Amino acid sequence: MGRTPKTPRWLEAARRRQAPVPEGERAEWLARALGRAGVLPRLDAERAIQEGRVEVDGRVERDPFAPVRAASGVRLEGQPLSLTSEVLTVMFHKPAGLVVHGHDPEGLGTVFERLRAVLPEALRGYEWYAVGRLDRDTTGLLLFTNEERLVAHATSPVTHLAKRYVADVEGLPTEAALQRLREGVVLEDGPTRPAEARARGPQRVELVLTEGRHHQVKRMLAAVGHPVLALHREAVGTVSLDVPEGGWRRLTDAEVETGLGFR
């Protein structure tokens, strides 16, 4: 028998919301609001809610999907909380071996575990969303944010936010091979958008893509006869990686607005 598709969390929350969202506000549910505001990461927030440790407007709320507003009176173990949040974005230099998932069945670790281990205490209560993905063996720039709208913006196929990669490849790419990449190549899921491509060494290619298909860099280079040996992401938009492997830093508002085009 096939598996029953899991209902998306946003749809589950929408089904449980009884009243329409007032103009000028956003649809929000309790567990996500706590994670966005830096009170507790979502799974911890769900546990606290189900255990009866959270009150909303004077009553215990045990439903993680309960609708809330910024002005709702929320308490955790009797202490008042603010649901007001700001958009936070951090860059992280992903090492090889980590997966961009909540759990790693192979036990090597996830980027979320590694990020939380290096973040200061003040930032560990946030629910961090990865802005796109990198393969387990790919290193480099990975962005995280507490704002799902930024994730949607950066990964939307209509945004065309540029991502710069450097790949070590088999063979010696010729100018003809690079030109094919610039013009776009045909993959099994259709032709790619034109890319910026240049040699960075005898067996090293820089690619700048404005789309984000599954394993796209590896598939494009394989299509022109140069399978990838190692892959590293240097930049997203105009935000360039500038921290050591395993390190992080917070992006400025200007980097988010100008570098990522999110306002």
DSSP H helix total and E strand total for the chain: 8, 15
Burial annotation 56-86 (CB, 10 A radius, 16+ → b, else e): beeeebebbbbbbbeebebbbeeeebebebe
Q: What is the pLDDT of residue 27?
A: 65
Q: What is the pLDDT of residue 4?
A: 52
* Tens-place pLDDT, residues 55-74: 999 999 999 999 998 889 99
What is the CATH architecture assignment of 9-81? Roll (3.10)
Q: What is the DSSP letter of 27?
A: -
What is the arithmetic mean of pLDDT over 4-18?
53
Residue with tokens 């704002």: 147
d(CA 233, CA 44): 31
> Does position 233 have pLDDT exceeding 60, yes or no?
yes
Give 163-236's CATH code, choosing from 2.102.10.10, 3.30.70.890, 3.90.1640.10, 3.30.70.1560: 3.30.70.1560
Q: What is the pLDDT of residue 13?
A: 53
Query: What are the Cα distances from residue 95, in Å, to 132, 142, 214, 243?
Result: 16, 10, 19, 12
Q: Pick from 110, 112, 81: which is nearest to 97 by CA?
A: 110
* Tens-place pLDDT, residues 242-262: 999 999 999 999 999 999 999
Q: What is the pLDDT of residue 23?
A: 46
Q: Do domains 89-157+244-259 and 163-236 have the same CATH topology?
A: yes
Which tokens is 198 given?
A: 């240049």
* Tens-place pLDDT, residues 122-165: 999 999 999 999 999 999 999 999 999 999 999 998 999 999 99
* Tens-place pLDDT, residues 154-199: 999 899 999 999 999 999 999 999 999 999 999 999 999 999 999 9
Percentage of the chain lying above the pLDDT 90 cut: 82
Tell me which residues are annotated as active site: 135
pLDDT averaged over every residue in the chain: 91
Helix (H) or strand (E) holding 56: strand 54-56
- Domain 89-157+244-259, CATH: 3.30.70.580
d(CA 38, CA 254): 22
Q: What is the pLDDT of residue 114?
A: 95
Domain ranges of the chain: 9-81, 89-157+244-259, 163-236
User: Do the beta carbons of residue 162 and residue 208 sit within 8 Å?
Assistant: yes
